[in-house]
Amino acid sequence: MEFGTFSRRGALGALSLGALVAMLPRLAAAQTDTGSAGEPFSPDILRDMAQALTKKPYRAPATGGSKGLAGLSYDDYFRIRFRAEHALWADRQPPFRAEFFPPAYLYPRVFPIHEVEDGVARPVPFDPEMFDVPGEHAGAAKAIGGFSGLRLLWPLNRADKLDEIAVFQGASYFRSLGRDQFYGLSSRGLAIGAGEPNEEFPSFERFWLERPADDAETVTVHALMDSPSCTGAYSFLIRPGQSVVFDVTATIFPRVRMTKMGVAAQSSMFLFNVSDGPRGDDFRTAVHDSDGLAMLTGTGEQIWRPLTNPTAHRLSYFQDENPKGFGLVQRARRLEDYGDLEARYDLRPSLWVEPLGAWGKGAVVLAELATRKESDDNIAVFWRPDAPWEAGSRVDLSYRLHWGGERRGDGEARVVRTRTGADAQAGLRMFTIDLSGPMLADGLDGVKLQIEAKGGQTTWSNITPYPREATVRAAFGLKPTASQAELSLRLVRGDTPISETWRYLWMA
């Protein structure tokens, strides 16, 4: 990753950690100092700032700047518009612009945002006139005092129109999407204890945006993260296209011994789909931003785990070493899969994490939280290393995020649909798993089912081809012997797997 030609050695010299700690309040105050001559900046300086911050006691961020727009509703907040003429880099031709969000609704905090040019960071000046606040809140908006987030624009869908390609707002959350898609799932810098009691939410405390060249194909965002457990320096090299790709480099400095960290965390929503049967009084067939967790293990095995909305919170661990990828995926892509012309769940992005380098031993963790509300992000996925992060250590992370369509594997048949229901007469659970792939077009000669069931016994199984399609239905009956059963299934021809591995956790 390239960040220009700025020399940290020439700028910092023998600057001590104590001097860096002293610099932090000045950088925070620089948001309102529109005449600032600027401060030296580079990724190395950012890392030193994050390390220096661990020498100070953690202080929860203040919510200053929100008084003018306190108490706004969801609808009121999203009627506020940023005036395009105030956009960062509006003096240039496309491709990139940066716009900002006011502090209100769920986002009362403000934080400094800087522009970096030629290795020098200067504050982005704030002015309430940047925002068009309609109705009764227009006067109160003059009291707000800073930005609560930012978005990046680029001509994603049409050459003559700028579209959002990234949003950073709220704790360490950020999101993106692919061409012709609607926003859905989010990512975050770091998850700590996700899906468990007393979850900790690290937050990005300030941002630096590198000014791109007129013909630039990428844009770079840097962020300083802070939390009770750790600090962090993050850099995001963003490359828009059919999919939007983020190259993420991060350095974490733990304040305490950490065992519940979640790397490359994703958050999504799953309420119900057709396999769950009737779900209340809802006209739609399915409601979810993602319908499964896809994994490519260190040994090359492809795994598919359908998502569920459980009756009680649960965590699932998929042990691995040096994973090759994982992510939350939206596979159902037909409008009729959902029957919703407004939410357009068929156009929600998938997100694939591609580790860069060896991540060692750990687990992909799936948190599924019970919910009855479409507005809840009740799904979380992340990588948790086996080895704790020790206080005072340094942890370097590097990975790539692909926002858009699903990342394809090496040609194995994919699971396209999972259904389950009771066979009351036989006292069994029946499962049907539809798999599709070009290797199935030649028929089922030599193809067998491999099924494993922990907590139950399979009493029968079969494979049935769909007529005139490269798709088959694998079905089996399960006699549970416990309150839950861990199930797996795949197709093999001879000893060679020809499908990804379907994994499922059934609970009574």
Domain residue spans in the chain? 414-507
In the chain the first and final C-alpha atoms are separated, in Å, by 49
Residue 277's pLDDT is 64
Distance CA 414, CA 114 (A): 45
List, for residues 418-470, the tens digit of each pLDDT value.
999 998 888 899 999 999 999 898 889 999 999 999 999 999 999 999 998 99
Distance CA 145, CA 150 (A): 15
Per-residue CA distances from 377 to 11, 184, 186, 402, 471 (Å): 43, 10, 9, 20, 32
Task: Indicate the burial class of 430 (C-beta count within 10 angstroms; 0-12, 13-18, 19 or more).
Answer: middle
Residue 1's pLDDT is 26
Listed in order, strand segments (DSSP E) in 118-268 are 120-123, 131-132, 149-158, 161-169, 173-175, 186-188, 191-192, 203-210, 219-226, 230-239, 244-254, 261-268
* Coil/strand/helix, residue 438: helix
Token readout for 408 is 């394809």
Residue 308's pLDDT is 95
Per-residue CA distances from 89 to 210, 219, 456 (Å): 11, 12, 61
Q: Give mean pLDDT in consecutive 10-residue pieces for the chain, a chain of 508 residues.
A: 27 35 42 64 98 94 64 84 94 88 88 96 94 81 86 96 96 98 98 96 97 94 98 98 98 98 98 78 94 97 96 96 98 95 98 97 98 95 98 98 86 92 88 94 92 97 94 97 96 94 94
List, for residues 254-283, the tens digit of each pLDDT value.
999 999 999 999 999 999 998 776 667 899
Tokens 């202080």 locate to: 59
Residue 108's pLDDT is 86
Q: Does domain 414-507 have CATH number 2.60.40.10?
A: yes
Residue 32's pLDDT is 42
Residue 100's pLDDT is 97
What is residue 258's DSSP assignment?
Answer: B
SS (H, E, C) 37-84: CCEECCHHHHHHHHHHHCCCCCCCCCCCCCHHHCCCCHHHHCCCEECH
Contact indicator for 456, 482 with CB cutoff of 8 Å: yes
How many CB atoms sit inside 10 A of residue 438's CB? 9
Token readout for 5 is 């030609």
